[in-house]
Chain A
Amino acid sequence: MQTENLTEILRQHPFLAGLSDVHMEVLIGCASNVRYAEGAPLIQEGEIANTFYLIRTGRVALETDVNARGKIRIQTVGPGDVLGWSWLISPFRWHFNALAVAEVRAVALDGECLRKKCEKDHDFGYEMLSRFSHVMERRLEATRMQLLDLYTTSPGAHV
């Protein structure tokens, strides 16, 4: 893939909105275009976490195996979303499985490559961390709402 194309693609993704040209240059060195067919795994629970994905099209389901209940899917991410931040936080291992439930096109960013660049350029590192904090905060908020299990006390019947 030509770098210019990738830059264009990256510019379109909401996660990188407003990223300076300088920082984009830094980032692009760790980026590559990826594609997953429906059903293909992106992430395996327990393995070393070394990638994060900027999803462009399609849908990824986060899944985990619950003893006696089988595989439970607890989240999906779609176009414009970010998948994976375990690469940021030691011990850098995945906590769930993720697979494409509809054909996925994404940009994969190499975790180790990014970590090195963050170490070297703290401005860039701060930029990455503050963007991720924002994503995590929104994800936490959404997860909390899921935890509330709101639909078990549904409106419509009053007695």
Chain B
Amino acid sequence: MYIIDSTELHNLMEELIKRGYLLIGPTVRSGAIVLESIRTVDDLPRGFGDEQEPSHYSLKRRDDAMLFGFVVGPVSWKKFLYPPRLTMFKATRAGKSFTIAPEGTDKNRKLAFIGVRPCEVSGILMQDQVFTGGKYVDRAYKAARDNAFIVAVNCTVTGGNCFCASMGTGPGATRGFDIALTEVLGGGKHYFVASAGTPRGEEVLGAVTQREATEPESRSALDAVARAAESLTKRMDIRELPQLLKDNFENPRWDDVAKRCLACTNCTMVCPTCFCSTVEDATDLTGMHAERSRRWDSCFTLDFTKVAGGNIRPSIRARYRQWLTHKLSNWMDQFGTLGCVGCGRCITWCPSGIDITAEVDAIRGNSVHA
């Protein structure tokens, strides 16, 4: 463990810029904390916190100068590794035939993520499984991912909708980062306890600080994270969750949530693990040039399961059920873990305030065994 004083944090950022990284980090914009390219510590949301409840988000001013005194905003890091829109190829007519030019991946583009929450680190690891862990590998994702430097910031404050601890993804990160920081502010001091998780993380950290953390300093950091864990108000009961959902395909709770769900797709957009996409093919006016692009899609859309002559999931009831069951049951069969990191975004950004933890409790409450 090492110490980076809050006045020295800019050294970390500059070291990464020197190494050719474009920094992405949290910043205040339009009443929220979003993720954008940043350059200096001044871009960070110093002194800001966020209030989150079902269907509610607001920024608030803290009474201190914490740099990372908030949790997560509507944007997740998924946007940078798995862009909402990506051109896949361009094609040009050539007589009866046509040529296809696949879009190259920019192997030189390196992103450094500053301030990745432990739940978000887990989210990235889950998408790694989806896009690079199977038979086929998404090259664009892999290229972006290999070049992404992750500076995680452990949570010492928690949000009203957070439930990372019950999902085993926070409030402290244990793996998946290059560098992890814990912000300590108090007793006239403001510093970060830092540790490296990879060789390249070690290298960067070594270039920024040589000062080892004292025992009290390390303990302050661990205590802060432990206090955060205790302050969580929500939890997901994950006991035998995959089987519970398999057994409750016709649970009456689905009818109940269907009355509230608008199928607006907000939850899938803000979720760091949701990965569904669609492809769009278009030509220009001359008809000589065609382009195929991939864009984010959502299982909540009516067209998602269109087949010849019909639609497999016409009702919102079926679509909500699909989303929940995929995330908390099928994901286990497909990828070996649950697909939810407990970040609470879906609860915050749902206009109806549907709470995924409450839905699971309700289904468990009137569960029928198959």
Which A residues fall within an 8 A CB radius of B? 152-155, 157-158
Contacts and interface: CB of A to CB of B under 8 A. Distances in A.
Nearest to A159: B308
Contacts of A155: 308
Secondary structure of the A side of the interface? loop
Contacts of A158: 307-308
Contacts of B308: 153-155, 157-158
B310 interface: yes
A21 to B, nearest CB: 47
B308, B309, B310: residue with the most chain A Cβ atoms closer than 10 Å: B308
Contacts of B309: 152-153
Contacts of A152: 309
Nearest to A155: B308
A130 B94 CA distance: 71
Interface of B: 307-310
A159 to B, nearest CB: 8
A28 to B, nearest CB: 51
Given A153-B308, A155-B308, A157-B308, 7 more contacts: A152-B309, A153-B307, A153-B309, A153-B310, A154-B308, A158-B307, A158-B308
Contacts of B310: 153
A157 B309 CA distance: 10
Contacts of A153: 307-310
A153 B355 CA distance: 38
A147 to B, nearest CB: 16
10 contacts: A152-B309, A153-B307, A153-B308, A153-B309, A153-B310, A154-B308, A155-B308, A157-B308, A158-B307, A158-B308
A152 to B, nearest CB: 7
A72 to B, nearest CB: 24
Nearest to B309: A153
A8 to B, nearest CB: 49
Closest 9 CB pairs of A and B: A153-B309, A153-B308, A157-B308, A153-B310, A158-B307, A158-B308, A154-B308, A152-B309, A155-B308
B328 to A, nearest CB: 28
Nearest to A152: B309
B290 to A, nearest CB: 16
Contacts of B307: 153, 158
Nearest to A157: B308
Nearest to A150: B309
Contacts of A154: 308
Contacts of A157: 308
A96 to B, nearest CB: 30
Nearest to A153: B309
A157 B310 CA distance: 13
A32 B310 CA distance: 51
Nearest to B307: A158
A50 B308 CA distance: 47
A152 B310 CA distance: 11
A120 B308 CA distance: 57
A155 B312 CA distance: 13
A132 B247 CA distance: 39
B278 to A, nearest CB: 12
A155 B309 CA distance: 10
